[in-house]
Amino acid sequence: MSFARRDRVSTLEEGPLASLRGSSLASESKRGSSAATLMAMGIELVGLDHIVLRVRSLEKAIAFYCGALGCVEERRLEDLGLVQLRAGRSLIDLLGIDAPLGRRGGAPAGREARNVDHFALQVRGFDGETLRAHLSRHGIEAGPVRQLYGAEGVGEAIYIEDPDGNTIELKSV
């Protein structure tokens, strides 16, 4: 598990949104105009905040991530079936597939079912309405601005989907 690239995530072309290649957003980022536009608005993508993994067994997953990889349990939300682990400056959220929130993702993880619920990107200078307008100009529908917990604490966030239907949370830092 490596977090060394955190400081390199400065453009959409290099960063975690590189999967958007081929979309109007990615085409603009190749020219640098989308990243430059966001920077001019005081909005900067700075890194991965958290990833949410759907797991068959919370206890086995905790043993793996904490025992083998050195993560530290930070928070439990029993009613959601969610355990949040600290991994350096980021979080790995483990979501039991048998819990209410985990059941929303469909079948248990495997070759035919997803186990990643979503990942969150940290955004410096987060301005929900400005960001939503920018995304809208690129044909991307953004959810409402919400107050959510992440690696840097509680802050504003919105959800979007990439062209393949992967859910991405844009989270203020």
In a domain, 2, yes or no: no
The pLDDT tens digits for 110-167 are 666 667 889 998 999 999 999 999 889 888 899 999 999 999 999 999 998 876 677 8
Residues 71 and 86 sit within 8 Å (Cβ to Cβ): yes
Encode burial over 122-150: b for 16+ CB neighbours within 10 A, e otherwise. bbeebbbeebbebbeeeebebeebeebbb
In a domain, 27, yes or no: yes
Residues 48 and 7 sit within 8 Å (Cβ to Cβ): no
User: What is the helix (H) or strand (E) element at residue 26, kind and residue range?
Assistant: helix 24-31
In a domain, 84, yes or no: yes
Distance CA(151)–CA(7), nearest Å, equals: 16
In a domain, 93, yes or no: yes
| Domain span at 123 | 7-172
In a domain, 80, yes or no: yes
Give the total number of structural domains in the chain.
1
Distance CA(61)–CA(54), nearest Å, equals: 10
The pTM of the full predicted model, rounded to 2 decimals, is 0.64
The pLDDT tens digits for 28-86 are 445 467 888 888 888 898 889 999 988 888 999 999 899 888 899 999 999 999 999 99
In a domain, 1, yes or no: no
Tokens, residue 58: 């919370």
CATH number at residue 61: 3.10.180.10
